[in-house]
Homo-oligomer: A and B are copies of this chain.
Amino acid sequence: MARYVYRFGEPLEDGAAGAGRARALLGGKGAGLAEMTRLGVPVPPGFTLSSELCSRFLPRESRDAASEARNDSKLGFDADLRDEVEHALSDVEQQLDRRFGGSSRPLLVSVRSGAMVSMPGMMDTVLNLGLNDETAAALAEETGDARFASDTYRRFIQMYGNVVLDIGHHHFEATLGRVKAAQGNAQLRDTELTESSLRDLIKRYKALIEDQSGASFPTDVREQLWTTITAVFRSWNNARAVRYRKMQGIDASIGTACTVQAMVFGNLGDDSGTGVAFSRNPSTGEATIFGEFLPHAQGEDLVAGLRTPLPLTASSAVPGSEANSFEALLPKAFESVVEHCRALETHFGDMQDVEFTVEAGKPFILQTRAGKRTARAAVRIAVDMEREGVINQDQAVLSVDASSLQQLLHAKLPPPTALAENGVHPIARGLPASPGAASGAIVFDADEAVERAAQGQDVVLVRRETSPEDIHGMKAARGILTASGGMTSHAAVVARGLGKCCVTGCGALQVDYATGTIRIPKSEHVSEPIVLSRGDEISVDGSHGRVYLGVLDVEAAATVPEFDVLMGWADKRRRMRVRANVDTPQGARTARSFGAQGIGLCRTEHMFFAPDRLLAVRCAVLATDDATREQWLERLEAAQREDFEGMFRIMQGLPITIRLLDWPLHEFLPVENADFESVAEALGIAVKQVRQSAHAMKEINPMLGFRGVRVGLTMPQLYSMQVRAIARAAVRCAQDGAEVEPEIMVPMVSLAGELSAVRSLVDTTMRAELERCEAKLPYRVGTMIELPRACLVADELAQYADFFSFGTNDLTQTTFGISRDDAAHFLPRYLDELGIMDVNPFVRLDRGGPGALMQIAAERGRSARSDLSLGVCGEHGGDPSSVQLCEELGLDYVSCSPPRLPIARLAAAQAALRRSSEKS
């Protein structure tokens, strides 16, 4: 005979069919209960009807479920099944000394769905089943709380009516509204209903059911049970669940199980109660139980928040009121809960968040799940649990959410949602250009920023956009805020390099330098126009791209002693190496302190932001003849050589990928009159001519314009200069005995011919330079892969490349056809309102678009050249999910900005662990 019913709860469960098989038969919920029983953890007893039964109900799908449900013979409950259920039910009755449908100590049960795969909220559940007028009265008597009994009863009728009899919620809501109105106010909260109103409501609900379903509400608790079981099984095929399975690719044939479990009561007296326990402190990670307990109460009371709960432990109570703790009130139950929490934590290998109820002194665990925690706690818990032998190092590494490390590493404000709950709303939104948070007085001018900072004042530098002339002010400010510019604007790039928090592209700001004011017009975010003046205080949240009025509590970056231990374990488990995107010796130093194993992207154009170099850059670009250009390039060469030398020495033989100029022309061309004049003077030509040349270089779509290798091949002197600077710097270091092997990278390549031409330019220049110095120097030449065509012809490119580095920012822009700087018009709506995108593809690598192209590129590139090395140098290198994709593609390294290195290191380790566990 097939067996369909599996018991759980004391003394022993039946579901010992092996974890996988148990889950298939019992669903996640049923298997979990069986598992807890096996661990000796007391759960309210009950039984699970196997998912194999599910198919019995499905063919009979019919609109008229209610009428069919009443005739259970049609539903295929054969005598055997009824027997099995009755046996299991009577076990539950015995264990709890309660009777199903009994007129004293009635047994109430919950009937829940639960498939092998979690489908949260998709199927149906009914609670408090077993109530009728008689048992409700018994419950009132037992709990001494008539209001509770009535409220529970009316809730059950409503749930049963809705789930089993398919009567729309709005009918019950309308009835409830009428009862509230009768009590005097239709806007009353449910908790404000009097007991007599509740009794009235029960009557009306029964009438409603009779009216809608054509039959009276069943008082027979067994009829309640069987019709509900039927409805729960049938909810496997409701439209919501079918759609969800389709979306998630879940096999429809697996079916749901149905779990029937006793309800327990925390409101039976002073030796009862309900609570929540974390097996460790979720804020600090400290290894003591933490939580709340509400005596003489049901779980709903805890949620409703009408009474203040007590702490669990005496030691965490307010000094002097230690007696008001779970530990002091019910020491035996407390000990038992602590013990079960520990057992569950050990079993699941993770900190647990446990709901429990004490019924007449006897604790029951209602639910357990992995507890949410702060990053700080996560790190400490992971390391502690490994030390305690609960988990191993692999598990410790996997237990910490890599992206949460961000919280540890920067000063921060509470997240916008948390602030909103406290009534603090941003006055403007922009792009999260550089993480961290800061408060300070508004200044509009770099010099003023320096002055005020020198006087010890915290300032936030606010500009329409920044330019190289503002750098000293950016250094002096606590934070930077710009009205325009994107994630790769000057302000964003420099701020990340300086480690300053920064919000860019804050389009609502109307910055008026002349009057020294910022105007923020009325909008959906701001109910009245706001005008701020120089010296007014604001706070900026560079991690979320928000601006707030006034000084908010900025929490400093945390120090967690266990952090280094965890990172050490992670580093041992990584397959991919981790490099940093930095452009200066200072940046290289920071990168090493964050654990960089090399520089994955040195953007040589960023070296030109320094004001003393800017004139030389402008003159080199705007020179009217080659000789003059060469002259200015020589000055730049000296500057670059110095920087390269510094970086080579700091990196001590670790690889450094130097990207040849990728000219963002519009960021370098003069804008102000004075700039035009100084260039004209330096070049000895008319200002008008400088203006004309600059004008001729203006582009409609600079992103797709005269950039990278296109400039390099059109003005080959530029790249030659850079290669010479690299060669000379490297040779000098090598002569001092340092190990140096520069990697020279060509940007914006889409054609093999481009790469081959630059490669021979590099080789020729290098050879000449090395002959001149009588030196030898290993070096490698590779290319950015940042255009779709480069991915498609990766096999051709690999003929001329020692390495590929995916520039995922630009690759995302061109693959989607979205300019990151211009996306503000629609991308936020796509993400929030319209739900067309789940995640911003500039934050997480999109698998369908750029990810697919990367796969093509990796395959084709390696097919042409098996020793090709592959890396990523877009900011995606610091996003855990993107790092996971890089691991799947078999890349050799990821590179990101220094502050994100710990995230990349941990994410790379996790990806490697997941991959090896998939393989095994």
Q: Is A754 an interface residue (CB 8 A)?
A: yes
CB-based contact A835/B701 at 8 Å: no
Q: A753 near B835 (CB under 8 angstroms)?
A: yes
Which residues from B are CB-within-8-Å of A757? 834, 836
Q: Mark A783-805, 1 if CB is under 8 A from B, else 0.
A: 00011110011001000000000
Query: How far is A751 from B793 in the complex, measured between Cα atoms in Å?
Result: 24
Tell me which of A54-62, A172-180, A429-437, A811-819 binds B.
Answer: A811-819
B710:A819 contact, CB within 8 angstroms: no
Residue pair A748, B819 in contact (C-beta under 8 Å)? no
Which of A750, A788, A837 has the most B CB atoms < 10 Å from its CB? A788
**Which residues of B have CB within 8 Å of A787?**
815-817
User: 0/1 per residue, A675-711, Cβ < 8 Å to B?
Assistant: 0000000000000000000001101111111100011
Contacts of A778 in B (CB 8 A): none
B701–A703 contact, CB under 8 A?
A: yes
A829 on the interface (CB 8 Å rule)? Answer: yes
Is A848 close to B, CB under 8 A?
yes
Task: Enumerate A733-761 residues with CB–CB distance to B below 8 Å.
Answer: 748, 750-751, 753-754, 757
Contact B751 A836, beta carbon cutoff 8 Å: yes
The residue that A814 contacts in the complex, of B696, B788, B826, with Cβ under 8 A, is: B788
Contact B705 A819 (CB under 8 A): yes
* A507 CB-CB contact with B under 8 Å: yes
Instruction: Report whether A822 and B702 are in contact in the complex, using a CB–CB cutoff of 8 Å.
Output: yes
Any chain B CB within 8 A of the CB of A821? yes
The docked-state distance in angstroms from the alpha carbon of A618 to that of B695 is 28
Q: Which residues of B contact A702 (CB under 8 A)?
A: 700-701, 822
Report the minimal beta-carbon distance from A163 to chain B, rounded to whole angstroms: 31
Distance (whole angstroms) from the CB of A754 to the closest CB of chain B: 6
Whether a CB of chain B sits under 8 angstroms from the CB of A919 is no
- Whether A789 touches B810, Cβ cut-off 8 Å, given contacts A700-B822, A836-B754, A849-B750, is no
Give the docked Cα–Cα distance between A751 and B710 (Å).
30
A474 CB, min distance to chain B CBs, angstroms: 21
CB distance from A265 to the nearest CB of B (A): 47
Q: Does residue A730 face the partner (Cβ distance < 8 Å to B)?
A: no
* A853: interface (CB < 8 Å): yes
Chain B residues with CB under 8 A of A823: 705
Q: Are B706 and A826 in contact (CB under 8 A)?
A: yes
CA distance A848 to B856 in the complex (A): 13
Q: 0/1 per residue, A571-583, Cβ < 8 Å to B?
A: 0000000000000
Chain B residues with CB below 8 A from A699, complex form: 819, 821-822, 825
Report the contact-size class of chain A (Cβ under 8 Å from the partner).
Answer: 35 or more
A794 to chain B, nearest CB (A): 10
**A360 in the interface (beta carbon within 8 A):** no
Is A493 located at the chain interface by the 8 A CB criterion? no
Q: Tell me if A826 and B750 are in contact (CB < 8 A).
A: no
A792–B789 alpha-carbon span in the complex (Å): 13
Q: Which of A696, A835, A849 has the most CB of B within 10 A?
A: A849
Is A714 located at the chain interface by the 8 A CB criterion? yes
- Which of these, B701, B713, B753, B792, contacts A822 with CB under 8 Å? B701
Which of B788, B822, B837, B853 meets A705, CB within 8 Å?
B822
Bound: A320/B829 CA distance, A:
85
Complex contacts, A750 vs chain B, CB 8 Å: 815-818, 849
The residue in A701, A815, A849, A852 that gathers the most chain B C-beta atoms within 10 A of its C-beta is A701
- The answer to whether A837 and B751 have CB atoms under 8 Å apart is yes
What's the Cα separation between A697 and B826 when bound, in Å? 12
Whether A704 and B818, one on each chain, are in contact in the complex, defined by CB atoms closer than 8 angstroms, is yes
With contacts A754-B836, A836-B753 known, is A825 near B704, CB below 8 A? Answer: no
Nearest CB of chain B from residue A506's CB, rounded to whole Å:
13
Q: Which residues of B contact A714 (CB under 8 A)?
A: 825-826, 829
Chain B residues lying within 8 Å of A821, measured Cβ to Cβ, are 699-701
| Chain B residues closer than 8 Å to A704, beta-carbon distance | 701, 703-704, 813-814, 817-819, 822
With a CB–CB cut-off of 8 A, which chain B residues contact A748? 817
Given contacts A704-B814, A796-B848, 6 further A-B contacts (CB under 8 A): A666-B700, A699-B821, A703-B817, A750-B817, A753-B830, A788-B853
Rank and list the top 10 A-B pairs by shortest CB-CB distance, nearest first: A704-B819, A789-B849, A753-B836, A701-B819, A705-B822, A706-B825, A788-B788, A787-B817, A710-B826, A701-B703
8 A-B residue pairings within 8 Å (CB atoms)? A700-B703, A701-B822, A705-B823, A706-B822, A713-B836, A753-B837, A787-B817, A796-B848
List A residues at the B interface (Cβ < 8 Å): 486, 507, 666, 696-697, 699-706, 710-711, 713-714, 748, 750-751, 753-754, 757, 786-789, 792-793, 796, 810, 813-819, 821-823, 825-826, 829-830, 834-837, 846, 848-850, 852-853
